[in-house]
Amino acid sequence: SRAYSLVDSSQVSTFLISILLIVYGSFRSLNMDFENQDKEKDNSSAAGSFNGNSTNNSIQTIDSTQALFLPIGASVSLLVMFFFFDSVQVVFTICTAVLATIAFAFLLLPMCQYLTRPCSPQNKISFGCCGRFTAAELLSFSLSVMLVLIWVLTGHWLLMDALAMGLCVAMIAFVRLPSLKVSCLLLSGLLIYDVFWVFFSAYIFNSNVMVKVATQPADNPLDVLSRKLHLGPNVGRDVPRLSLPGKLVFPSSTGSHFSMLGIGDIVMPGLLLCFVLRYDNYKKQANSDSCGTPGPGNISGRMQKVSYFHCTLIGYFVGLLTATVASRIHRAAQPALLYLVPFTLLPLLTMAYLKGDLRRMWSEPFHSKSSSSRFLEV
């Protein structure tokens, strides 16, 4: 059987894909904020508010209470999957496939908008009670459904990775961290959660709960359906079991095993990257409105030019590299957040303190702005 590890140093693709997903998801999130501001300006003459709570109801902002209880909820979900996986695997697979379909359609939407712009108007087509959709939205959803169906039939790891990428981008784009305080609460709690379930769960449950749940394949719904309906021994029985898209997997250079990185290790630091990108843009607007007022006198101009986004993204790369080295040294699964959280949060906190922005970033920093800038140097 194939062996799995959380990260594999031989797979450079893990680094590249995770960083690209974070960057792309962060910019999709920022672009959604701009679009919501434009809609507010079109619908009302009152000035819009540039903050994490958008008028778009699909965007979810995490508050302090949710940040504290999220690791607890994740632990309960992990235990349910550990003890009752055989009972809930089909339902969980179907729900995951539906969410992955929607998320991958969101990932494909910009490409479909580009392809359909020359030959199709942007008018929405009505589908009755289902809603109104543009041609680009219908095309992206159709392609997503097709990919999910092929994944169900083949179980190929590359298709599973594509669905996991869609989930990562959608979660980064639609979830907001409103302040550095909430970011620290969330990431610190998830660090403890990750460390406990990877390092200490085996002492209580006689098994590494995190690794077992992450690597356990589920029965294919087509196989289950054929058995329930008694369709015969050859109908639906040759479909493979499915490894669910809750992770990115890449084969090693020898093909003897797969490296694995959970999407939580991409999404949770990605939410922090999304927050600092929005703050960089907010601060750029504020400096532009104040005619380029310089920062504190004890900070050099070069330090002022370094963005929080660049600093945190470099920290994420170094943390992921450190997790890879630790995994190879110990030859065992490692809790990636143990390395990613310190390497992202500590440089960010240090730079915010040196620049004099720590107090503003700590409590919700996005105040009302009368105008928005669509351009951010990255």
Residues 250-286 have pLDDT tens digits of: 877 666 667 788 899 999 999 999 999 999 998 888 7
Query: Which one from 8, 33, 161, 194 is the annotated catalytic residue?
Result: 194
For residues 285-312, average pLDDT: 68
Per-residue pLDDT of 70-112, as tens digits, reads: 999 999 999 999 999 888 888 889 999 999 999 999 999 999 9
Per-residue pLDDT of 188-206, as tens digits, reads: 999 999 999 999 998 999 8
For residues 353-370, average pLDDT: 79
H or E stretch covering 138: helix 135-154
For residues 322-351, average pLDDT: 89
- Tell me what pLDDT residue 235 has: 56
Q: Is 8 a catalytic residue?
A: no
Match 């594999």 to its residue by tokens: 8
Other beta carbons within 10 Å of 351? 21
- The better pLDDT of the pair 54, 195 is held by 195
Q: Is 161 a catalytic residue?
A: no
| Confidence band of 180 (pLDDT split at 50, 70, 90) | very high
CB 262 within 8 A of CB 246: yes
For residues 231-257, average pLDDT: 73
**Concatenated DSSP letters for 284-321?**
HHHHHHTTS----TTS-HHHHHS-HHHHHHHHHHHHHH
- Residue 55 DSSP SS3: coil
- Tell me what pLDDT residue 120 has: 65
β pairing state of 257-262 and 3-5:
parallel
CB 116 within 8 A of CB 124: no
- Tell me what pLDDT residue 49 has: 46
pLDDT at 184 exceeding the cut of 90: yes
pLDDT at 7 exceeding the cut of 50: no
Q: What is the mean pLDDT of the chain?
A: 82
Separation of alpha carbons 336 and 324, rounded Å: 8
CB 90 within 8 A of CB 82: no
**Terminal CA-to-CA distance of the chain, rounded, Å?**
44
Separation of alpha carbons 4 and 193, rounded Å: 20
| Confidence band of 226 (pLDDT split at 50, 70, 90) | confident
CB 25 within 8 A of CB 168: yes
Separation of alpha carbons 259 and 248, rounded Å: 8
pLDDT at 24 exceeding the cut of 90: yes
